[in-house]
Structure 1
Amino acid sequence: MERYKLAAAARHQSQFKSLEFKQLVNQLIEHEHRVRACYHMYLDVEGKTLAWIMAIDGLFLLDFLHNYHIHMKENSVSSSATTAHLVDSTGRKLAHGTVLGDIMMVENQIPIFLLREIVSIQCSLPDVEDNLLPSMLMGFCKSLSPIKLIKEDLPSSQVAEHAHLLDLLYHLIVPKMNCSEDNPVNGFGKLGSSSFDTTEPSFDSSKSYQVFDKLWNLLCSLHVGLISTITKPIQNLLGVSSKIISNVPGVSILMSKKKEDIKPEEEVSSDVKKTPKVEEIMIPSVSMLRFAGVEFCPTTGGISTVQFDACAKKFYLPIITLNVNSEVVMRNLVAYESSLTSESLVFTRYTELMNGIIDTVEDAKLLRENKIIVNSLKSDADVAELFNGMSKSVRLTNVPYIDKAIEDVNKCFNNTRQIRMYRRMKNFVYGSWRILTIIAVVLLMLLMVLQSFCSVYSCPRMVHTFSSSTSGSG
């Protein structure tokens, strides 16, 4: 990459005959302290070395943006058009996605004021400084953004106020939050607070299961002769019966889910003590919401258009365009947002919402068919993998309109007749399968005792007499 940077810097510098590269470096040294203040870590290089690095990287970025701007004006922006001049020693073209990935990384950002200084040093024309660079930056952000920008005609003076390219893209995508919205009263900003898998208040199957399990373990631990003669055969039969039941199609899935849902209190507390894990947003998937009658509708706006209409059962989501560069852009936007002082991680919350509703390939396919996702990737599986692989929030956040939509979706989902019937059936099956197994084992033992008793005494005669009298009366 260093060779490409040097070649691009030399090519871009050759366009301006009035200034040599050493003169450009000497003038950038005057901004050394301002450049160092833009980075959180101390740059352990000398001032002249830093000026050389900034000059080469700045010229390379300006050359890339300039080519991108020209091809965009000609309506021919493609993955190879802007990097056709970048080749390696064997003559192969440099991957366009690799260059974009390096440019959009948080740690590779170059201050915009430094780009303006380079342009102003090279060109004495004021219109070039005031119009060309902002238009190149705005055009690049517009073509790279996965979601529609809030403002597509931002004034040049406001473009220059942003810290770097990634900061400009972030503020063009994410709407500003009011101070009163940072601390909502309902408290739905916490991850996992609005769960859709709630149980009925009249019956808690997990608690009854835990009480029964503790009583049964207590009886099994008592080494008393009479109790041991009863509990040991039941334990053996339970082991055999559970293996038989687990092999039945469908039942094994239910049993595995139940074992994951119900954990002893000691195990849960130990998991919490180990690491403060941030959970995924508790919201039904797209396929489950569709089963409940929810319709997904695309909006032409940005992230602020996320909402749910409970009366019409319509979930409004912004259109998102996904291509080979989207994952790099989204990951770096999430990483940059986590470093800001704002309490509302809006973009992170949006990615967590998409991660919550997209669980499988079918979910991604449904959103694509509803024109919410414009997929330029290979398949819907890549879309599901992209959102499921996104990093969770590093801290709790409050985004009122997104949290309100999640709350309304969960309420609508919980009050659906199909879901309530499914939940009651699930509670009955999950909560009573072991009790029903023990009852069946006890009945089986009683029948075995009855069979042994009847083999010794005159039970066959009694049964024969009863059947004969019944046939005679008929």
Structure 2
Amino acid sequence: MEQKKLTAVKSVLKPHQVHDYEQEFVEKVKKIVPLVRDCYDFYHDADDNMLAWLFTIDGMFLIDLLNAYSNQDFAVKINDLIMLENQIPLIVLKQIQKALLGQEDILESNFRFFCKSSSSFVLFEEYIDFNRVNHLLDYMYKSIVNNERLIPRKVEFTNSGKEPSEKDAKLELLEAIIRFAGVIPGAQSFQQFIQKKLSQNEKTTAEEIKVPSVSELHKVAGVEFRLSPKNEGIRNINFVQGKVRYCYLSLMTLNRDSEVVLRNLVAYEKLMANYSFMGEYGLELTEYVDFMCGIIDCAKDVKLLREQKIIEGDLSDEEIVKLFNGIGKSRLKLRGESELRKTVAQLNMVYESTPRIRVQRMIEKQFLVWAKFLTFLVSISSAVIFIREVYLMVHGLNPSNMMLARILRARFSGLLLFFFGPRGPRAVV
């Protein structure tokens, strides 16, 4: 990589006949090193001269890549360019570009071309204020959400760990059974069987927001998904109720680099929202990605969105499902209610108000009442059987291969599936 950077520097300098590289570039960058140093959590003990050389070479390398990308000389891997930790402050790039050409216009056009080619979302048609851009990723982010016109909303942060939730009574009782079985001789096989069944029923995807999938909304509530009018972005999601229910979404173009782009944009938004005291940065992009993760559960969901030209790109339906199911729900909270969350609330209300779902919820409510009693009954029965096994072993009456344990495994397999199998809108009927 060091050799590639040096080659890029020579490529950038060659047309300009630079005689004194250090004087014309390094010394100028050195003047802004104190300002650049504050952009990082490290480099505080580094020498100014060393940092000036470092940022000058890296800056020229990025300028060379952007020029090549704009001229379509070769396909540039954008993974490293878009990574949050790899961003080079725009003030460094401006200083280098000005020393090369005496102007900065080409830098802005290169930023625009790169972001337009690499963004999964439609960019704002007008050029944003380049003087307020931090770096390349920030330019892409602001072009997507156009945050300059947003109404400031206070952001509240929760711990990155899992949010506390009230355990279901039947799960607590079952855990008690498992712990009790662990101390009974001969019951280990039954204990392992229960744990295996429970682990098979756990979600294998990241936690998502509560909203039905595209196919569920379409099949159960008759919601039709449509593409928003041309060039409208992620803030223009809209749900319209009438004879036909329409949910309008913005265009998403997904390719092999999209996951890297999305994850770094979301990470950057969260970071800036945390440190933004003037409300310039919200959580519009994070909320939208959360929403897409919630409504896409299977290939059928992607297919329905493709048919309406809401999703385009080179990724297959299965790859898109894997992408969105692998991104977890944000742990950030907002005061107030965004338009997107209003739409989610409307979709949930429409879905839950259908006769089929209301009946299903009533049955589930009754089931939970009986599940607590039945699970308690199972725990008592299990304890009695285990005590009998211990008694027989202590008195030398060892049952062959723990016959009762085998019977329990056979009897409880169907019961466990009934109690703890998938249910609700995502249950397989």
TM-score by length of 1: 0.63
Number of the residue aligned with 2:16: 16
Counterparts of 2:151 and 2:29, CA distance in 1: 43
Work out whether 1:3 is the aligned partner of 2:3.
Answer: yes
Number of the residue aligned with 1:367: 305
Number of the residue aligned with 2:208: 280
Contact 1:338 1:394 in 2 (8 A): no
Counterparts of 1:367 and 1:400, CA distance in 2: 23
SS of match in other structure, 1:57: helix
Counterparts of 2:96 and 2:238, CA distance in 1: 44
Describe the shift of the 1:279–1:326 C-alpha distance in structure 2 as closer, same or farther (beyond 3 A).
closer
Describe the shift of the 1:346–1:116 C-alpha distance in structure 2 as closer, same or farther (beyond 3 A).
same
| Cα distance per residue 1:150-202 (max 9 Å; x no partner) | 2x3316xx213311111111111013377766269xx9x99xxxxxxxxxxxx
TM-score by length of 2: 0.69
Counterparts of 1:65 and 1:390, CA distance in 2: 29
Offset of 1:43 from its aligned partner?
4.4
- How many equivalent residue pairs? 335
| Cα distance per residue 1:247-287 (max 9 Å; x no partner) | xxxxx99xx97xx89xxxxxxxxxxxxxxxx9531111122
Q: Which of 314, 318, 334 lines up with 1:397 in the alignment?
A: 334
Counterparts of 1:334 and 1:346, CA distance in 2: 9
Offset of 1:384 from its aligned partner?
1.1
SS of match in other structure, 1:110: coil
RMSD: 3.5
Q: 1:146-295 to 2 correspondence within 5 Å? A: 146-150=120-124, 152-154=125-127, 158-176=129-147, 182=153, 280-292=208-220, 293-295=222-224
Q: Which of 118, 124, 141 lines up with 2:96 in the alignment?
A: 118
SS of match in other structure, 1:39: coil
Number of the residue aligned with 2:250: 318
Counterparts of 1:315 and 1:183, CA distance in 2: 27
Work out whether 1:414 is the aligned partner of 2:352.
Answer: yes
Describe the shift of the 1:41–1:394 C-alpha distance in structure 2 as closer, same or farther (beyond 3 A).
farther
Q: 1:46-57 to 2 correspondence within 5 Å? A: 46-57=47-58
Counterparts of 1:310 and 1:434, CA distance in 2: 40
Offset of 1:433 from its aligned partner?
7.0
What amino acid is the match of 1:29? K
Number of the residue aligned with 1:335: 267
Offset of 1:21 from its aligned partner?
2.1
| Cα distance per residue 1:50-71 (max 9 Å; x no partner) | 1111111111111111122223
Offset of 1:427 from its aligned partner?
3.9
Larger Rg: 1
Percent sequence identity over matched residues? Answer: 35
Describe the shift of the 1:43–1:103 C-alpha distance in structure 2 as closer, same or farther (beyond 3 A).
farther
| Cα distance per residue 1:276-317 (max 9 Å; x no partner) | xx9531111122111221111111310011121133321111
Contact 2:97 2:104 in 1 (8 A): no
Work out whether 1:41 is the aligned partner of 2:79.
Answer: no
Counterparts of 1:101 and 1:61, CA distance in 2: 13
Offset of 1:365 from its aligned partner?
2.4
Work out whether 1:60 is the aligned partner of 2:61.
Answer: yes
Contact 1:12 1:59 in 2 (8 A): yes
Describe the shift of the 1:178–1:149 C-alpha distance in structure 2 as closer, same or farther (beyond 3 A).
closer
Number of the residue aligned with 2:422: none
Counterparts of 1:14 and 1:433, CA distance in 2: 76
Counterparts of 1:58 and 1:18, CA distance in 2: 16
Q: 1:374-385 to 2 correspondence within 5 Å? A: 374-377=312-315, 379-385=316-322
Contact 1:310 1:409 in 2 (8 A): no
Counterparts of 1:434 and 1:163, CA distance in 2: 56
Describe the shift of the 1:183–1:37 C-alpha distance in structure 2 as closer, same or farther (beyond 3 A).
closer
Number of the residue aligned with 1:296: 225
What amino acid is the match of 2:134? A
Counterparts of 1:172 and 1:371, CA distance in 2: 21
SS of match in other structure, 1:154: coil
Counterparts of 1:308 and 1:393, CA distance in 2: 23
Offset of 1:429 from its aligned partner?
5.1
